[in-house]
Amino acid sequence: MQSLLRLLLWLHIPYLLAVSSFVGWLIYLLVHAVINLSCVWAVAALLILFLGVLLLQVLWSLKALLEPVPQSPELELKLPRPMLKGVSQLVAKIAVEQDLLLPDEIRVGADKVVHAYEDRSGKRVLVLGGLAVAVFSQSALKGVIAHELAGFSLGDTRLTRRASGRLRVMETLEQHFHQQPTTKANPFVWLIRLYHLVFRIAWCANSRRQEFAADRRQAQRAGKYAAASALLNLVLAETVPWVRLSNIAKTYALANEQMELILSDYWRRARVAGNDDWVEACRKELKKVTRLLNSQASLQDRLKAMGVSPEQAHKLILEQGGTPARELFSGWETIEKLLTDQLVANFQAKELTMDDLAQILQGRLA
């Protein structure tokens, strides 16, 4: 699957140029027929005009390739080394025990549980979400860190980064097609969108393959129950309805309350969430099935691959006993404040953008 994804990644631009060139070649053949073969010029002219319109549609949309790809806001903090001393030692211990690659940098984020990626310079970055640090025990955090580090050791993170970037380019191109309703009748646009669909299917399949590989690696190194517990922590922490950050943000916005307390409220709700909430979230997740365009396999498929049944999974749900993970950080209260400031600034920027857009639309309609 990696080979197919690399091939599709390499062929994307040549394929777009080939489609455009093919339309131009058809126009050339028709013009040549009119001049040299004395065919019915009126019919040929209509065909030339029709193909010309189709070509212009394609070329107009392809200008999206020259536009900067929209980037998601980076809700991550780069902290001084002294503040990361405890967690750095834990990460190093995990890497040694399970023979995993160390990250080049550890950051703390506001909007994720835990995730790892390779940036444009090739630096391996591990991001520990505030939710995981504020809610999990050190034992639970250790499991999810090991799972993410396995991605560095087993997956082609550089390919993942490049493919994800190209996928964002394709999404931008799809938006251009969507903004032009007439492209729905353009068969050459269909060819481009078909390529995008095949690329997305390959990207999702490769992503699922990497997740399964990381699951197997952790099950072999730490045992299937420890691996399953880490997986449940990763999947369920963002799905329990009472602790969803988006829900809490909406509540604060509607009530016109101070946003400065949003993260502390978010993590407080997560810590006091009853076991029934987690069990219900697990039950709902276990009902989901893996689909062709899912970048992650369903929870039931991943647990099945580990040899863990749904009944066993319910017993493993978020065992939060033990030393709190936040004690690994020096000055966690300060970090929480910094994350909150960052999140509030991002929220306010989005609100400002929406207000500006509304004013522009009102001005046009006036």
pLDDT at 48: 73
**Does 33 map to a domain?**
no
Q: Is residue 138 part of a domain?
A: yes
Characterize 119-152 residue by residue with b for buried, 16 or more Cβ atoms within 10 angstroms of its Cβ, and e for exposed: eeeeebbbbbbbbbbbbbbbbbbbbbbbbbbbbb
Please give the average per-residue pLDDT across 167-180, as a whole number.
Answer: 85
At position 228, the amino acid (one-letter code) is A
Let me know if residue 164 belongs to a domain.
yes
**Rounded Cα distance, 230 and 224, in Å:** 10
Residue 36 has pLDDT above 70, yes or no: no
Quote the CA–CA distance of 163 and 199 in Å, as a whole number.
9
pLDDT value, residue 266: 64
Domain assignment of residue 313, yes or no: yes
- What's residue 357's pLDDT? 40
| Total tally of structural domains belonging to the chain | 1
pLDDT at position 236, please?
81
CA distance 296 to 207: 7
pLDDT tens, 281-311?
888 888 999 999 898 899 999 999 998 888 8
Per-residue pLDDT, 301: 94
Report the percent of the chain where pLDDT is more than 90. Answer: 13
Does residue 77 lie in a domain region?
Answer: yes
Contact 240, 281 (CB under 8 A): yes
| Nearest to 116, CA basis, from 83, 157, 68, 80 | 157
* pLDDT per residue as tens digits for the range 102-154: 899 999 887 677 888 888 787 889 998 877 887 788 888 888 898 888 878 77
Entry field: residues in the chain: 366
Q: What is the pLDDT of residue 91?
A: 93
User: Which domain range does residue 202 map to?
Assistant: 73-356
Asked if the structure places residue 54 within a domain, the reply is no
Neighbours of 28 (CB within 10 A): 12
Confidence band, pLDDT 50/70/90 cuts, at residue 248: low
Asked if the structure places residue 66 within a domain, the reply is no
171 within a domain of the structure (yes/no): yes
Task: Work out the mean pLDDT of the chain and round it to a whole number.
Answer: 78
Q: Is residue 326 pLDDT above 60, yes or no?
A: yes
The reported pLDDT for the residue numbered 196 is 94
Which pTM value belongs to this model? Answer: 0.79
